[in-house]
Structures are given as structure tokens and as C-alpha cells.
Amino acid sequence: MATTSPAINLYTSLLSESEDAAHLAMRADCYFKLEDYASCLDDAKRVIALDEDNCITSAVLGGQAATKLEKYEDAYHCYKAGIKAQPGHPDVVSGLRTLKNLILKDMDKKGSECEEKGYNALDFCSQEVYPGDDELFTNEIEILSKMYKIQAETLSPSPKDPKIMEQAANAALSGHKCMTEGKWSDAVKLFSVALDLDPSNHILRRLRAEVHFMRDDAISCLRDLWLIPKMSRMADAWKLGGKILWQLELLVVAEFWFRKATQLSQGKDQEAKVLFQKARVTRLYGPLTLDFPVKVDFTEYGRAIFAKENIKAGDMVFSDIPIVFGEVFDTSKKDNIPFCEHCAASLLTPRDYFKSSFSTFDPGMRNLVEKYWPDSKTIFCKKCQYVRYCSEKCRDASWDQYHHVICPSRNKAAKKLFEVCANLGLEELEGGRKNILWSGHFSPLLMARIWATIASSAKKLMKESGDNIPTKEQWAKAKSPFRKFIAYGNIGIQKELTFIHDVMKGVFKDCGDGVTYDIDEREFKGRYFQAVCNLQVFSSPITPYHKFLEALGEVEPTDETFRLLKLLKHKPPSTNVCGMFPLHACLNHSCLNNVEVTDGDVGGVGGVHVFAKRDIKEGEEIFTTYIDTSMPRKLRRAWLFKSFNFLVPV
Ligand SMILES: C[S@@+](CC[C@H](N)C(=O)[O-])C[C@H]1O[C@@H](n2cnc3c(N)ncnc32)[C@H](O)[C@@H]1O
């Protein structure tokens, strides 16, 4: 084995002079023989990116190395590149077969455990009170009182006189008879007579509420339910009241009633639990979908998006911007295009676009570029001089909202985190070998940014209220923007994640101002699975290239502009970013998806546009696809299980 080390050293030194696909391929081969599969895969991916027509050997090696590492998605992509380079190559075919069997075996093992348990979206959605709900609750109670005259009243006690009691009982009996015969109007009259005589009779009041409901008189029904003292209100009364409050769009009070129904039924009333979540998504997502032909609802698969009206093929269904984003880790891309860490704008430079040909430009062309290429002078964080932005505005906003918590100039432990991220999760060892410190497809900085945002807003709330440490309520309020994202995962945290977990623990021990954020295992896993389940790749569609092209269009044409225009024909390389989008994250998966997601400019910042692929009818669920739908069905199913932890019907 040791004989291959000098070879690795030789290729490493050659590669330090120039990135050459043949040298990379040979080094990948050496790594494979040394059983250093991480380094082998890294080199193989770079060969594929550099020379996709002649990458067959590396594609096979990369596929085999990734399979050994159980990085099935990487293995699939390597083999797919192999198929493109040389269709039907026997090693690729056999590699794919092995991969398929492994994934299916994995799913059979883990899936059988999971299927027994079943997927129940309700298990992932709590009924916790949201911070700030007290105030909303009081407002809604006021609306009920002012608009609908619904309020608690002190009712006179039951009459002592047996004659009056008898009259009330007779009226109630007749009322009940009418009720069973469906004579609603007579039933109301008779129950009203009985209640006038015996106002504190809760059973009668419950019956009259039912009849009001049957007569579509929701307000009178709710008024009666309201008058039943809380201690005497049964689970079904709470549920019925909740339904009416939901119709009246008094959603915080509706949630309260559904919560009570759930508690009193000891969690057995599934309908009450689902209704609670429906009320919650209506209030959380209603404001986000006001301008779009869709709404968010709650189904057996959790949140889901439905068409509010008919949508035509090609129409935009909705757009969205990320609440947090980070870099996609793709080690095959040598030159990642820099982006603003705060708004994700592309910071593409003329050198990134024109590559080496830029140095051959004559002075006339160079002048044009210098004059009209937007001033994308990267602005760095004043303190760490490391994190980059497109403007001072973005830099200051980032500092205020999260960066001050993780800036390596203040937070020494964060240095390691930035270092690992700069190397896309790999640690360079002697002789160019690589050690995997993080195997996620996204930068762990994305998770750090979530925690930093939470810590920063908890600190703000703490300072506003003059406390020394944030209260439980303040932490809850600070975390609430991230509650919109499901965190579903039943696969154990792999070994590679423990390293980053330890780094994060160190980073958030000191959030500044004496505040500590304990990144315990639950918190770490929760955010990790939130990212895994919800991330969407996107890139800002308006780049410096587009602005340059536009500016050039305004200039008086000269020889130089024409020559330059010829060089501007190819699309600019995109940034490598993924984000968590509150509305987009509610899209469920179907292999027969009816929408397509594209990069989009949303109000001047990078986001996503979701377009209808075909006509969609009012009431239909909107589905995207999470996977490559060209894969065979059984494999798609296994893939979804492996990557997203859910099983779709066979
Ligand atoms: C981006 S979220 C989609 C919205 C999600 N239903 C929610 O409540 O937040 C992805 C998660 O939704 C669930 N999901 C999506 N499509 C599904 C499907 N076809 N069958 C079962 N679960 C699905 C899985 O739990 C997956 O991890």
C-alpha cells in the first residue's frame, strides 16, 4: 500500500500547478487503492466536472467510493455521469445494480421499522401556545364581545320552586322530541322556554346550541356554548365551538377551544387535533398566500398547499424568498461564484465570467468592462474581514441580525466553523488526502445562522425588558419564525455530524452579552432535519452579468462593444446556494408533480417562482418533486425514504 503514496505526492504537486483531469483521475485511483474513499470521491467528482465526456474511469471509481461511504446520492450522480460518457459500460451498469440493491436493502431494514409505526404528521406538530398569543387572544375576545355580543355572563341559579322546575322539564322534553324529529325551529322555541325558567341548566344549553348549529345559526350556537361554564363544557362542546370560531376567523381562540377538546379527550380525538392544526396553518400561512391563488391546509402529510381557484398551465402559482440560506456543498465545483451572505446576490466578477480570456482583452474592451460592469466591489465584514456582502446595507443588517454572534473576530470558536465551511466540509490532510468533517449537502453555516438569529433576537428582547438573561418566553418568541419548518427524521445522526455538533456547542456557548445557547442533541438534530427536509436550491437570477449586458445595450456601439458582445453569449455561472422558504417548504412531493420551481427575482432579491406545469383545478393539491423522476419507481420510493424519511405507496 505504501508504494502508492509517492504517486499521490507526485500528482498532488502536479495538481498544485494546474487542475488537470488526467492527474486527478490517477490520484483518485491511488486513493481508492489506499481505501481513502472520501479523497477518491472528491477527486472523481472534480474529474467529472472538468471533463464529462472522458470521465468514465473516474465515474466508476467515484460511484464505488461513494457506495462504500454510503453516500448513495453521490454514487448515483457519479454513475449517471458514467452513463452519459459511455452508455451501457458494464462497470457502470453493475455499479448501479449494486447501488440499487443496497438502497432497497437499507429501506427494507429501516422502512419496516418505520412502516409499523406509520407516518403521522400530527406527531410532528405541537399544540404549544405561540409567544405573543395572549395579546391576540384578548383582541379576539373583544371582537366576540363587540361584534357578536358573545361574552361570559353570570346566570341565575336553578329555580327552587318544584312547579317551575317541572314546567322547565316539560318544555325541555318536548324540545328534545322536536329535535329528534328534525323540527329545529320548534325545538329552539321549546328549549328557550325551558332555559328562561332554568338558565343554569348546562345540558339544556348544550342541546339548544346543537339545534342552533343545525339551523346554521352559528352565532347563537356559540353564544350558548360560551355560557356553559368552562368546567362543565365537555370535549365535544369545545370542538363545536372551535369550528365556529374557525369559521369566524378568530383563530387564536379557535386553537384554544380545539386544544381543550384534545386535552379532554386525552388526545384520542383525532378530528380535534387535525382541526387545531388547520386553524394554526390558516393563521400562520393566510398572510403569506393573500396575493396567490393558493392556500395552505393541513392533511395527513402535514402542511400542504392547495389551489384556491383554477390555475392555468404556465401561470405563476406563487413566489417566495428564503428566511435563511447557505452554500450548497459541491466539491466538484472548483470556483464557486461568491454571493452576498445577507441577500444571496451574485458577486460575479468579470474574471469569474470571462475566466483566463479576460487578461487577453485589449485596453478598449477592458475599459468598457471596468466602466460598465456593476460595481460589485465585495464588501467584507469590518471585524473579521472574512464574510462578504454586496453592500454596506447588507453588511450592517447582517451584523445586527446574526453575524455579531458568530463573527470569528469576537467568537473564537466560530473560527473553526468558518474554516471547515471554506473547505466544503473536508479537512485537508498530508499529501492532499481528505477527511470528511461534514457530509451534508449544505453548509453547516446555515444552521449556525439560524441559531445566531435566534440568539440575537432573544438578546434584543432581553435588553428591551431590562433582563440579564433571556426568559423562556423570550427564547420561544425568538425561535418562532423557524417553527414553520417540519423537522422529520428517523435516521440516527451519523458519526460525521458529531464533529460539527461539538463545534456548534462551542460557538453558541458564548453568544455575547453573557448569553449562552445550549445546542444539545435535540436542538442539533432538530435543526439538521429541518434543513434536510426543507432546503431548496436557488440562485439570484439578476447577476452583475445581466446588469452589464443591460448597460452595454445603452452605449453607442463601437468595434469594442461588438467584440465584447460576442464574448457575452454564454449564460453566467450561477451561485451555489440553498435556502429555507416558508411557503415553498409546504409543498409535498409527488412523482407526478403539477408545478415546477425556478429561480426568480422576488421584489429585487433572489428567491423562487413556482409555475404550473399543467392546468390545476380549484381544490387540487400542489405538488413539486423532490427527486429525479427518471429513476425507476422502486428506487424513487427508496430514495425518498432514504433522503426524506417518508414512504410513498408502492
Ligand atoms: C418540505 S416538507 C413538505 C411540507 C410538510 N408536509 C410539512 O408539514 O411541513 C417535506 C416533508 O413533508 C413530508 N412529505 C412530503 N411529501 C410527502 C408524501 N408524498 N408522502 C408523505 N410525506 C410527505 C415528509 O415528511 C417530508 O420530509
Compute the distance between CA of residue 341 and CA of residue 575 in angstroms, rounded to an integer: 11
- Residue 304, SS3? strand
Give the pLDDT band (50/70/90) at residue 1: very low
Tell me the per-residue pLDDT of 422-471, one tens digit each, with 9 for 90 and over: 988 888 887 777 888 888 889 999 999 999 999 999 999 999 999 999 99
Maximum separation of any 2 CA atoms in the chain, in Å = 110
Q: Counting beta carbons within 10 angstroms of the beta carbon of residue 119, is it exposed (0 to 12), middle (13 to 18) or buried (19 or more)?
A: middle
Q: Are 237 and 225 in contact (CB under 8 A)?
A: yes
- pLDDT confidence of residue 429: 81
- CB distance 298 to 273 below 8 Å: no
Given a cut of 80, is residue 493 above it in pLDDT?
Answer: no
Quote the pTM value: 0.81
The pLDDT value recorded for residue 385 is 92
Give the phi and the psi of residue 436 in degrees, each rounded to 5: -85, 120
648 touches ligand 1 (CB under 6 Å): yes
The ligand 1 atom at the shortest distance from the C-alpha of residue 586 is 4
Closest CA to 102 of 65, 72, 74, 76: 72
Q: Check pocket membership of 296 for ligand 1, CB cut-off 6 A.
A: no
Instruction: Tell me the CA–centroid distance for residue 487 and ligand 1, in Å.
Output: 10
Choose between 487 and 381: higher pLDDT. 381
Residues in Cβ contact with 634 at an 8 Å cutoff, skipping those fewer than 6 apart: 100, 104
Contact 644 CB / ligand 1 (< 6 Å): yes
> Is the separation of the CB atoms in 176 and 186 below 8 Å?
no
Q: What is the pLDDT of residue 109?
A: 65
pLDDT-derived band at 116, boundaries 50, 70, 90: very low
Q: Pairing relation of β-strands 588-589 and 621-624?
A: parallel
Using a 6 Å cutoff on CB, does residue 486 contact ligand 1?
yes
pLDDT digits (tens, 9 = 90+) for 55-66: 999 999 999 999
Say what the pLDDT of residue 117 is. Answer: 40
Please report, rounded to a whole number, the percentage of residues in the chain having pLDDT higher than 90: 58
- Residue 588 alpha carbon to ligand 1 centre in Å: 5
Distance 483 CA to ligand 1 centre (A): 15
Q: Which residue has cell 443496497? A: 102
636 vs 258 pLDDT, higher one: 258
Mutational pocket test of ligand 1: of 277, 588, 593, the residue with most ligand atoms within 8 Å of the beta carbon: 588
Nearest CA to ligand 1 atom 10: 533
| Averaged pLDDT for residues 22-39 | 91
CA of 301 to the centre of ligand 1 (A): 6
Q: Which pLDDT belongs to residue 496? A: 63
Structural contact between residues 68 and 98, judged by C-beta atoms closer than 8 angstroms: no
Best mean pLDDT range from 33-37, 216-220, 355-359, 632-636: 216-220
Contact predicate 638/108, CB 8 Å? no
User: Strand, helix or coil at 629?
Assistant: coil
Check residue 650 and give its pLDDT.
44
Out of 119, 483, 486, mutate this one to test ligand 1's pocket (max ligand atoms within 8 Å of CB): namely 486
Query: Rounded to 5 degrees, what are φ and ψ at 263?
Result: -65, -45
Share of residues in the chain with pLDDT > 70 (%) = 92
What integer pLDDT is reported at residue 583 of this predicted model?
96
Lowest average pLDDT, out of 91-95, 127-131, 297-301, 332-336, goes to 332-336
CA–CA separation, 434 vs 49, rounded Å? 18
Query: What's the mean pLDDT in 536-541?
Result: 88
Least confident of 350-354, 491-495, 629-633: 491-495
- Beta pairing, strands 379-380 & 324-327: unpaired
- Stretch among 212-216, 250-254, 421-425, 586-590 having the lowest mean pLDDT: 421-425
At 123-170, the pLDDT tens digits run: 667 888 888 888 999 999 999 999 999 988 888 887 888 899 999 999
What single DSSP character describes residue 571?
P
Residue 646 has pLDDT above 80, yes or no: no
Relative to beta strand 379-380, strand 426-428 is unpaired
Is 542 near ligand 1, meaning CB less than 6 Å away? no
Pairing of strands 388-389, 379-380: antiparallel
223-238 in b/e form (b: 16+ CB < 10 A) is bbbbbbeeeebbbebb
535 lines ligand 1 (CB under 6 A): no
Closest C-alpha residue for ligand 1 atom 4 = 586
| DSSP codes, 438-506 | ---SB-HHHHHHHHHHHHHHHHHHHHHTT-SS--HHHHHHHHGGGGGS-----SPPPHHHHHHHHHHHH
Q: Read off the pLDDT of each residue in 404-429 and give the average, rounded to a whole number.
A: 92
Q: Which of 536, 589, 642 for a ligand 1 pocket mutation test, highest count of atoms within 8 Å of Cβ?
A: 589
What rounded mean pLDDT belongs to the chain?
Answer: 89
534 lines ligand 1 (CB under 6 A): yes
Quick one: three-class SS letters along 162-201?
Answer: HHHHHHHHHHHHHHHHHHHCCCHHHHHHHHHHHHHHCCCC
CA of 475 to the centre of ligand 1 (A): 27
Band (pLDDT 50/70/90 cuts) for residue 105 is confident
> Residue 296: beta bridge partners?
305
- What ipTM does the predicted assembly reach? 0.99
Please choose from 297, 580, 646 the residue to mutate so as to test ligand 1's pocket, defined by most ligand atoms within 8 A of CB: 646
pLDDT of residue 113: 52
Q: Grid coordinates in use for 296?
A: 395552505
Question: Rounded CA gap, 138 and 143, in Å?
Answer: 9
Lowest mean pLDDT among 277-291, 468-482, 626-640: 626-640
CA distances from 208 to 156, 244, 272, 337 (A): 18, 15, 22, 68
More confident residue, 428 or 51: 51
Q: Is 354 exposed, middle or buried (0-12, 13-18, 19+ CB in 10 A)?
A: middle
Q: What is the four-CA torsion angle of 90, 93, 94, 99, rounded to 10 degrees?
A: 160
Q: From the CB of 354, is ligand 1 less than 6 Å away? A: no
Quickly state the pLDDT bin for 393 (edges 50, 70, 90): very high
Q: Which atom of ligand 1 has the smallest separation from the CA of 485?
A: 9
Ramachandran quadrant class, 424 (left: phi over 0; alpha: psi -120 to 50; beta: rest): left
| Closest listed residue to residue 257, CA positions, set 273, 566, 268, 168 | 273
Work out the pLDDT band at 3, boundaries 50, 70, 90.
Answer: very low
pLDDT of residue 565: 87
| pLDDT, tens digit (0-9, with 9 covering 90-100), for 14-26 | 988 888 999 999 9
Of the CA atoms within 13 Å of residue 302, those in its CB half-sphere come to: 19
Contacts for 641 with CB less than 8 Å, ≥ 6 apart: 107, 110, 111, 114, 647
All structural domains of the chain, each given as residue ranges with its CATH number in brackets, are 4-117 (1.25.40.10), 124-155+200-290 (1.25.40.10), 326-538 (no CATH)
Average pLDDT over residues 290-305: 94
β-pairing verdict for 302-307 and 621-624: antiparallel
Three-class SS state of 360: helix
SS3 545: helix
**585 Cβ below 6 A of ligand 1:** yes
How far does residue 623's CA lie from ligand 1's centre (Å)?
A: 10
Mean pLDDT, residues 619-624: 97
> Of residues 367 and 622, which shows the higher confidence score?
622
- Tell me how far the alpha carbon of residue 287 lies from the centroid of ligand 1, in angstroms: 21
Nearest to 127 by CA among 254, 313, 34, 234: 254
